[in-house]
Amino acid sequence: MSDLKPTRVENDVVVSLAYTLTVDGQLYDSSDGHAPFNYLHGHRNIIPGLEKALVGLAAGESREVLVSPSEGYGEFDPESLIDMDRELFPEGYEPQVGAFLHVRGDDGQVHTACIHEIHDKTITLDLNHPLAGKELLFKATVLDLRAASAEELQHGHIHQSNEGCGSGGDCCSEGCGSGCC
């Protein structure tokens, strides 16, 4: 690692990004009005299709990329639609299509599920990522680049996120507990 400021996006560089994400012609997410999004390049902290498209950009440069589901949030998996007995839900629970809830899977992990359909005896939950099966149109501008610290490289994520945890760095889910969360 060198102390020189990197000039291009490449592996092990911390990238500061402004972006918009458009899905199905609708603006889905944007860094407008937020602090810039920062991530460590080359460590799968962002979706692969976007990461690939940014390689080689200098600060101030922009790129527009259409990311396919396989390089985004994955294909929509019909097997991830599961029927749950309504009796398993708390009494008085009023399910609504499109509502999100947390379910614990057989693997003990907590998944976010979306209510897909409501039937008399069962409720169909969709465990797919909300953007699974979608093409993602990103417009991204590289705002700044800096070298990563040795500790950041070791952890595989940045430690000075302005947005706190869970905004792409996945500090907490990786359980590093080193002050980034």
Residues in the chain, overall count: 181
- Distance between CA 164 and CA 181 in Å, rounded? 7
Q: Which of 79, 70, 37 is nearest to 54 (CA)?
A: 37
Kindly indicate which of the ranges 5-13, 55-63, 119-127, 168-176 contains the residues binding Zn ion, using the contact rule CB under 5 A.
168-176
The DSSP letter of residue 68 is -
Residues contacting 135, CB < 8 A, separation 6+: 23, 66, 67, 68, 69, 72
Binding mask 115-154 for Zn ion (x = CB under 5 A): ----------------------------------------
Kindly indicate which of the ranges 66-74, 122-130, 136-144, 169-177 contains the residues binding Zn ion, using the contact rule CB under 5 A.
169-177
Q: Are 42 and 12 in contact (CB under 8 A)?
A: yes
136 or 158: whose CB is closer to Zn ion? Answer: 158
11 or 154: whose CB is closer to Zn ion? Answer: 154
135 or 170: whose CB is closer to Zn ion? Answer: 170
Among 41, 43, 134, 155, binds Zn ion (CB under 5 A): 155
In the complex, least distance from residue 134 CB atom to Zn ion, rounded to whole angstroms: 30
13 or 180: whose CB is closer to Zn ion? Answer: 180
Q: Are 34 and 163 in contact (CB under 8 A)?
A: yes
Q: Which structure tokens are listed for 74?
A: 């994955």
20 or 167: whose CB is closer to Zn ion? Answer: 167
Size of the site for Zn ion (CB under 5 A): 4
Q: Are 157 and 170 in contact (CB under 8 A)?
A: yes
Q: Which structure tokens are listed for 8?
A: 């291009």
Q: Does 176 bind Zn ion (CB under 5 A)?
A: yes
SS3 42: coil
Kindly indicate which of the ranges 79-87, 96-104, 123-131, 155-163 contains the residues binding Zn ion, using the contact rule CB under 5 A.
155-163
Residues that bind Zn ion (CB under 5 A): 155, 176, 178, 180
